[in-house]
Amino acid sequence: MSTEQPWSRAKGPFAAVFTAPALWLLFFFLVPLAIIWAYSFGTTQGLTDIDINGTFSNYVRIADPVYIEVFVKSLWYAALTTFLCLVVGFPVALAITFSSDRQKVWLLLLIMLPFWTNLLVRTYALMAVLRTEGFVNDMLGWVGLGPWPLLHNNFAVVFGLVYVNLPFLVLPLYSALDRLDRSLLEASLDLGAGHIRTIFEVVVPLALPGILSGLLITFIPALGSYLTPDLLGGPDSQMIANVIERQFKRANDWPFGSALSFILMYLTFFAIAAQGLVAKRRKGLEQ
C-alpha cells in the first residue's frame, strides 16, 4: 500500500510554499494596483493631493477623440506587430523544431540571447542601425539607394516592436510544434500532400493552442510598449503608454493617468478572456 500523502491534503507544506509568494503579490502588486484603481475615481487637488470622490469624469474624458485615436493606433500597432512576428516567427520555430539536437540548442540560445541584454541598450543599438548615418543607410548608400528615413517614424516603431517581441512568439510556437506527432506529418506526405499543404492543414490546426498563446503573449506587451515608441517614434507615433507616462510625470494628473492605465488593463483582460473562450470551445469540439 502506498504511504504517499496526496498534495491536496498536505496543507502544512502547501501553506509554507504558498504564503511567501502570496504575500509578495498582495503587498507589491494587488495593493498598489488597488491604489491606482481608486485614484482613477478621483480628482487632483493642488499639486500633490488627490481627492477620491467616486467621480467617473476621468473615464468619460477618455472618450475624447484624441485619446480614442491613440487607443486605436496602439491596437493597430500591437496587432500589426503580432502578425509580423507570426509571419517571421513561425518558419523560425518550425526550423528549430526539425533541427538536430545540437543545432536546436544553439538556435534556442540565439532566440533567448536578447533577454540577457537590457531593453534600453538594445533600443539604442537599433537606433544606431536605423539612423541616417547608421549601418543600413551606409549599405544602401554603397548601391546608390540611400539615405532613407528609417528612424522617428511609424516604420521604426513597428520594426522596433517586432524586434523586441519576436522571441515572445517564437518560444511558445516552438514549444507547441515540438510536441507534434511526427507520424501525422509523415502520413500526410505519404498520402500525397505537399509540404506547404501539410503545414497549413496538419501542423497549424494541431499547433493552434500554442499559436494562440504565443499571439496573446506577444500582443499584450506590444500594446503596452512605452520605451520603443518613445525612442524610435516621432510626434505622430506615440502609443497609449506614452500618454499615460505624460499624465503621471508631466501633467501631474494621476487620476486621469490611472483611468487610462485601467482601460489598457481592461483591454488586456478582454484579450485573455477571448483566448480562453476560443481554447474552451476548441476543447469542447475535440471532445
113-126: pLDDT as tens digits: 888 888 889 999 89
Share of the chain above pLDDT 90, in %: 33
Distance CA 70, CA 246 (A): 13
Q: Is the pLDDT assigned to residue 162 strictly greater than 90?
A: yes
Instruction: Decide if 164 contacts 119 (C-beta within 8 A).
Output: yes
Does 201 or 281 have the greater pLDDT score?
201
When pLDDT is averaged across residues 151-161 and rounded to a whole number, the result is 91
Q: Under 8 Å CB-to-CB from 198, ≥6 apart: which residues?
A: 185, 188, 189
When pLDDT is averaged across residues 130-152 and rounded to a whole number, the result is 81
Instruction: Decide if 198 contacts 30 (C-beta within 8 A).
Output: no
Helical spans, DSSP H, in the chain: 11-25, 31-39, 57-61, 65-97, 101-112, 119-130, 135-142, 154-178, 182-190, 195-198, 204-206, 208-223, 227-232, 240-249, 254-286
Distance from the Cα of residue 10 to its chain's centroid: 37
For the chain, the average pLDDT equals 86
Distance CA 135, CA 105 (A): 30
When pLDDT is averaged across residues 206-223 and rounded to a whole number, the result is 88
List pLDDT tens digits, range 260-276.
Answer: 999 988 888 888 888 77
Find cell 483591454 and name the residue.
267
pLDDT of amino acid 73:
93
Q: Is the pLDDT assigned to residue 2 strictly greater than 60?
A: no
Q: How confident is the model at residue 7 (pLDDT cuts 50, 70, 90)?
A: low
Domains of the chain listed by start with CATH number: 65-286 (1.10.3720.10)
Q: Is 277 exposed, middle or buried (0-12, 13-18, 19+ CB in 10 A)?
A: exposed
pLDDT of amino acid 81:
95
When pLDDT is averaged across residues 207-213 and rounded to a whole number, the result is 85
Weakest-pLDDT range from 139-148, 160-169, 170-179: 139-148
Q: Is the pLDDT assigned to residue 127 strictly greater than 70?
A: yes
Q: Under 8 Å CB-to-CB from 137, ≥6 apart: which residues?
A: 131, 146, 147, 148, 150
Q: How confident is the model at residue 178 (pLDDT cuts 50, 70, 90)?
A: confident
Q: Under 8 Å CB-to-CB from 129, ≥6 apart: which residues?
A: 135, 136
pLDDT of amino acid 1:
47
List pLDDT tens digits, range 57-116.
Answer: 999 999 999 999 999 999 999 999 999 999 999 999 999 988 888 888 899 888 888 888
Q: Is the pLDDT assigned to residue 179 strictly greater than 90?
A: no
List pLDDT tens digits, range 32-65.
Answer: 999 999 999 998 887 678 888 888 999 999 999 9
pLDDT of amino acid 6:
61
